[in-house]
Structure 1
């Protein structure tokens, strides 16, 4: 593999192809304006760019937006469809040693599911669109699910 996802020293690829065991229905996609080359590495960098994004929901799922309002926090699950799926150990540029894929938030993973906690800026129910404060996903990334962020429930135990 070449380019952004070229294998680095210390990385390990899976030996066998992945066996598919489930189906996912995409409920829409994310319009972020980011390309593969300029996409932020994380949500903090995306927020620093002050670049809102748009969730475009497919017509059959628009009713599921009922109750979501500006100011709400959401947890987005999205499918990083352009990421490699064969790395089980990776060598991040910001670390001194390779580590397991499940110890990273890298898009390169067996199931390239991304997660972002975002703030709703606006909701247009008629158009099936939700404007969010920022996202670290490439333009056109398929959207898997939207869940409400619940601060009391979404924290580690003491």
Structure 2
């Protein structure tokens, strides 16, 4: 029988290393920014090394994690999802908001490779992360299509197609990308596009400065990624990346 207010204690088995050092710009769902790479760094525990045996046989896995920068102290029973432009309230448990009674989340990501012998603990390299750098990991589980994929599922209020915005780079920005990522190993250009095309701005900014409104053109913003300060503005109905600089 469930006890009211029953408490449980968990310890992280590792953390996730990602290119997102700031909450602004993080994709709101896993897989939306596939170029976003991450590393699940497990603790140097021999039992954990044994525990991930045969994980390399799977293509994807679930990360069960803690929203460590949010906490659950000030959670509210209803929220305004950015997907709805902040125009409608829904119950927080009918959303994926990090501001939950218990700040726990889960993300499905693609496995790139597993380094069982990495210094300091095993590493699972993944694609499509939507997590802040340093996010604590409570558990990982293999993604199993026949159990985890339900093609006929109803997406409710999140069923509308995801809107994407064109992203254009200045010649100066293109030159900086080539200089900072000459071999395209970091996939810096694709990563910037995958973040900006989803319009990472908060809902109130989207309402205040719509991309399609000429009055919004010229509004400037920025975010940091992979050690770069990416400067962009709204221009002619798209996002225009005009500069890429070192972080101060």
Alignment TM-score, normalising by the size of structure 1: 0.79
Matching of residues 6-155 of structure 1 within 5 Å: 21-34=7-20, 35-47=22-34, 50-60=35-45, 61-69=48-56, 72-85=59-72, 86-95=75-84, 96-127=87-118, 128-155=122-149
After TM superposition, give the deviation of residue 71 of structure 1 in Å. Answer: 5.7
Structure 2 distance, partners of 1:43, 1:93, is: 16
Q: Is the 8 A contact 1:70 1:122 kept in 2?
A: no
105-114 vs 66-75, which deviates more?
Answer: 66-75
Q: TM-score, normalised by structure 2?
A: 0.52
Task: Provide the C-alpha distance between the structure 2 equivalents of 1:72 and 1:54, rounded to a whole number of angstroms.
Answer: 15
Q: CA-atom RMSD, angstroms?
A: 1.9
Shift of the 71–78 alpha-carbon distance from structure 1 to 2, 3 Å rule, reads same
When structure 1 is superposed on structure 2, of 31-40 and 70-79 the one drifting more is 70-79
Q: For structure 2, list consecutive stretches of 5 or more residues without a partner in the other structure.
A: 153-248
TM-fit CA distance, 1:20: 6.8
Q: Of the two, which has the highest radius of gyration?
A: 2
The CA deviation at 1:111 is: 1.1
Partner SS for 2:54? coil
Deviation of the 1:114 alpha carbon: 1.3
Shift of 1:70: 6.9
Work out which structure has the larger RCO, using CA pairs closer than 8 Å and 6 or more positions apart in sequence: 1
- Return the offset for 1:81: 0.7
Give the number of the structure whose residues are more often helix, by fraction.
2
Mean CA deviation greater in 95-104 or 140-149: 95-104
